[in-house]
């Protein structure tokens, strides 16, 4: 059984939360995983900029930041994996959905899956890893029914 907690730290109402939770459940099954624990934290640009500066030494807003934990490697007797936290700026979701010409849901879903894959250890530091991660993102989103420009 998985435990996904969603925290909206903004004043914005996000009607898409239930869809995002179902998408994450789908992604977990897609990756043939179970017994995962992680958080999705929705913030504004000011908050994510503070995190980005503190942890990445970048004094700018960003769209998504993931903090991976992987506790079960240290404690193999624990029957679940504590993956960590995904922070997403709702301000960036709004900006980028307009910029890329698709819905708020599509952008939020894209950033959520991007952050989730980072928690699983995927990255995009070189061209090969980027292709693997981005192909997997698009596969999960399209199989769930969330297409580009939707």
Among the ranges given (10-14, 58-62, 67-71), the one the predictor scored with the smallest mean pLDDT: 67-71
Could you say which DSSP state residue 128 is in? H
Specify if 149 maps to a domain: no
Residues 113-131: pLDDT tens digits? 999 999 999 999 899 999 9
Specify if 135 maps to a domain: yes
pLDDT > 90? residue 11: yes
Main-chain dihedrals φ then ψ at residue 9, nearest 5 degrees: -95, 15
Specify if 150 maps to a domain: no
The mean pLDDT value for 61-76 works out to 77
Listed in sequence order, the residues at least 6 apart from 131 whose beta carbon sits closer than 8 Å to its beta carbon are none
* Total count of domains within the chain: 1
Contact of 14 with 42, CB cutoff 8 Å? yes
What pLDDT does residue 148 have? 77
What pLDDT does residue 1 have? 87
Specify if 121 maps to a domain: yes
Specify if 123 maps to a domain: yes
pLDDT > 80? residue 54: yes
Percent of the chain's residues with pLDDT above 70: 93
What pLDDT does residue 75 have? 56
Specify if 102 maps to a domain: yes
Domain containing 57 — which CATH number?
A: 3.40.390.30
Question: Which residue segment(s) compose the domain that 101 sits in?
Answer: 3-144
Residues 82-115: pLDDT tens digits? 899 999 999 999 999 999 999 999 999 999 999 9
Q: What is the mean pLDDT of the chain?
A: 92
pTM metric for this prediction: 0.92
């Amino acid at each position: 059984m998985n435990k996904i907690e969603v925290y909206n730290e903004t004043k914005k109402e996000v009607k898409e939360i239930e869809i995002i939770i179902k998408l994450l459940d789908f992604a977990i099954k897609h990756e043939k995983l179970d017994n995962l624990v992680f958080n999705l934290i929705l913030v504004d640009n000011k908050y994510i900029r503070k995190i980005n500066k503190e942890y990445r030494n970048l004094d700018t807003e960003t769209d998504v930041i993931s903090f991976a934990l992987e506790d079960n490697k240290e404690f193999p007797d624990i029957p679940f994996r504590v993956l960590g936290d995904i922070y997403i700026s709702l301000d960036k979701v709004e900006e980028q959905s307009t910029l890329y010409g698709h819905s708020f849901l599509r952008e939020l879903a894209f950033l959520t899956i991007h952050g989730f894959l980072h928690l699983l250890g995927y990255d995009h530091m070189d061209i090969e890893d980027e292709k693997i991660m981005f192909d997997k993102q698009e596969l999960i989103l399209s199989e769930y029914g969330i297409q580009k420009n939707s």
